[in-house]
Homo-oligomer: A and B are copies of this chain.
Amino acid sequence: SEATITVLPGDGVGPEVSAQAVKALRAVEKRYGHTFTLHEGLVGLDAIAAEGSAISDATFETCAQSDAILFGAVGALPAAEHRADGPRPEQALFRLRKEFGFFANLRPVRPAEALYEASSLKPECLKGADMVFVRELSAGLYYGHMETVPGKPSEIRQRGGRTEAVDTLLYTEEEIERVVRVAFDIAAGRRARVTSVDKANVLSSSVLWRQVVDRVAADHPGVTHEHMLVDACAMRLIRTPAEFDVIVTENLFGDILTDEASMLTGSIGMLPSASLGVRRTAGGRFGLYEPVHGSAPDIAGQDAANPVGAVLSAALLLRHSLGLEREAAAVEEAVEDVMRDGYRVPDLHDEGCTVVGTEEFGRLIVHRLEAR
């Protein structure tokens, strides 16, 4: 089949890891006879320097014409260059998420047995862990910095002679319902268990969240569900991770819990993500695919970044936006093969393993893909 993909490598290690994901896509193209047209665009610090904003309208338009976006990472502005109303690299992500309506952020967490050594957790705790987070990505406490929604302030202000700062956690019933539906649909194709995470003993938005979850659950008699408080979940992810199947939660809780859960896999560099929107493509839904890790400026340019999160994001792209399940699985298996053969990038320094660079790890994945 044919598909158009916009690649936005971004800052720091973004370009290095994106290059490996692109190599994997090219290998899939050749091996399975597809035609992928790739466009590259600027985001983050380079875009600010060249075009004055974290993502230009032209780049945005290129994305809009694509079936999927492959995203690297965006950095942070050095504190010295921070101006109150100046552009910031993160705005590229916020704008893409918001304007394309990427409301469902999928983050699968499945620690590979070959990597148990690298995790802070004991192997007996990791055993059987295999979960997918469905994080709401378009609402909640986010976006106040970017735009002022009526009734949803995010600002530092003076009131009664005092300085105060306010952010607003706002959810409409529709915003909750659409992401919860995605979670139940995914659970139906897995172990049929949904854990909905909230703070209903404190937040009104969580009380509404629970009501909507119970209503959606009634449409899915084959899927069991439970409610869990976010503080309890932060504990259970470490104590009994194997108990989870699909976890659905609001934006900021999802941000915190997925970073925490990444530690099960030994390194945040392992984790891919898919952000799915409402627009349909020939093979699925328009989406943005990015590793969960950030731009890691401290190791940029050293051929030391872990490309697995980026390459597995390309696999999710094949699956969710292009409908190429067999190809997605092939990429995932190629990554597992390379790990099982004992190759590691420097963030996972196991004894008895062969440490290789980003570039070489990408080449090994391609090699496995070609050999299938």
Contacts and interface: CB of A to CB of B under 8 A. Distances in A.
Contact of A202 (B142, B171, B207): B142
A208 B165 contact: yes
Q: Of residues A155, A257, A263, which shows the largest number of chain B Cβ atoms within 10 Å of its Cβ?
A: A263
A185 interface: no
Interface string A186-220: 00000000000001011111011100000000000
Contact of A167 (B120, B151, B165, B204): B204
Contacts of A159: 151
Contacts of A164: 170-173, 208
Contact of A203 (B154, B256, B262): B154
Contacts of A88: 201
A16 B203 CA distance: 30
A76 to B, nearest CB: 7
Contacts of A257: 234
Given A122-B120, A122-B121, A205-B167, A259 B234 contact: yes
A255 B256 CA distance: 12
A234 B235 contact: no
A231 interface: yes
B145 A204 contact: yes
Contact of A166 (B204, B237, B239, B256): B204
Interface residues of A, number: 58
A90 interface: yes
Contacts of A209: 165
Contact of A205 (B122, B166, B203, B234): B166
Contact of A235 (B76, B203, B259): B259
Contacts of A256: 230-231, 234, 253, 256
Nearest to A77: B201
A4 interface: no
B204 A155 contact: yes
A252 interface: yes
B231 A259 contact: yes
B169 A141 contact: yes
A209 B165 CA distance: 9
Contact of A156 (B202, B208, B234): B208
Interface string A160-182: 00111111111111100000000
Interface in A97-126: 120-122, 125
A260 interface: yes
A260 to B, nearest CB: 4
A202 to B, nearest CB: 6
Given A76-B201, A230-B256, A235 B263 contact: yes
Contacts of A323: none
Nearest to A263: B238
B144 A203 contact: yes
Contacts of A299: none
Contacts of A235: 259-260, 262-263, 268
Nearest to A251: B202
A232 interface: yes
17 contacts: A88-B201, A90-B202, A141-B202, A145-B204, A156-B204, A156-B207, A162-B173, A162-B174, A163-B172, A164-B172, A164-B173, A166-B171, A166-B204, A167-B205, A230-B255, A234-B257, A238-B263
Given A167-B205, A231-B259, A238-B260, 13 more contacts: A120-B125, A120-B238, A141-B199, A145-B202, A162-B172, A166-B169, A169-B169, A199-B255, A230-B256, A231-B255, A232-B259, A235-B259, A238-B238
